[in-house]
Amino acid sequence: MAEQRNSTIGLLLRELLKERSLSMRKFSELTGIDTATISRIINGKRNATPQHLEKFAECLDVPLINLFEAAGYPIEQRQEESESDSDIHTSVDAIQFLLKSSNVYDDEFSVSHVEQKLESYGLYAQTEEGKNSILKDFDEKIKSVGSIGPFISKLKELYEKFTLGKGTIFELTLIGSTLLYFIIPVDVIPDYLFPIGYLDDAIAVQLTTKALLKN
């Protein structure tokens, strides 16, 4: 069974690297994982840890949940939910597993905690101080993260809308709350717990995207 799981994640990674024209050496540079480890994972000779998978997902711009499933980690599926709700909940399952395996975060993670933070930041985003913080600090925070990925790209899109004032007061407040969530380092999972400190930021982006589509 373990060999089958290793084979599945290995085949998926090999295909993703081929699609993106990435060599294992370049992939190693982008992820910070040594080439020998990547080679052994791809060739089914060792397991990919949750930390490996998080870095792979960010670099390859694919959902973390896809790599967790390919690597054989248990992810609970919720059938009676909308597709976007399911995406968020399966991401939460993956985050919970990653947090437990990392042994650096003891609190229970939940979407409601992220929603509460977003609500408080929404109020702050309506103030001049909050708006100035977004305009002054967003680019610097992006540089400090030093990565690309689906949620970073979406944040840049939201930032552009915010700076141009594209949207209703409700939409701009929602967008502002998400940008502040990303900028302020102490949120549900503190950013200093890198790289897992940005997993909750990705959930915040998903929640905001879903809310904007409903509005």
**Residue 89 has what pLDDT?**
52
| pLDDT per position as a tens digit, 138-174 | 999 988 876 555 678 889 999 999 999 989 999 999 9
- Give me the pLDDT at residue 161, please: 95
Q: What confidence score (pLDDT) does residue 54 get? A: 82
pLDDT of residue 214: 81
pLDDT digits (tens, 9 = 90+) for 8-48: 899 999 999 999 999 999 999 999 999 999 999 999 888 88
- pLDDT score, position 1: 44
**Residue 77 confidence (pLDDT) above 50:** no
Residue 195's pLDDT is 60
Say whether 54 sits in a helix, a strand or coil.
helix
Q: How far is CA 174 from CA 133, 161, 168, in A?
A: 15, 11, 10
Tell me, what amino acid is at 167? G
CA distances from 58 to 90, 120, 130, 150 (A): 17, 28, 28, 8
**What is the model's pLDDT at position 93?**
67
Give the model confidence (pLDDT) of 99-132 as tens digits: 766 666 667 778 888 999 999 999 999 999 999 9
Residue 187 has φ and ψ, to the nearest 5°, of: -125, -150
DSSP, collapsed to helix, strand or coil, labels residue 189 as coil
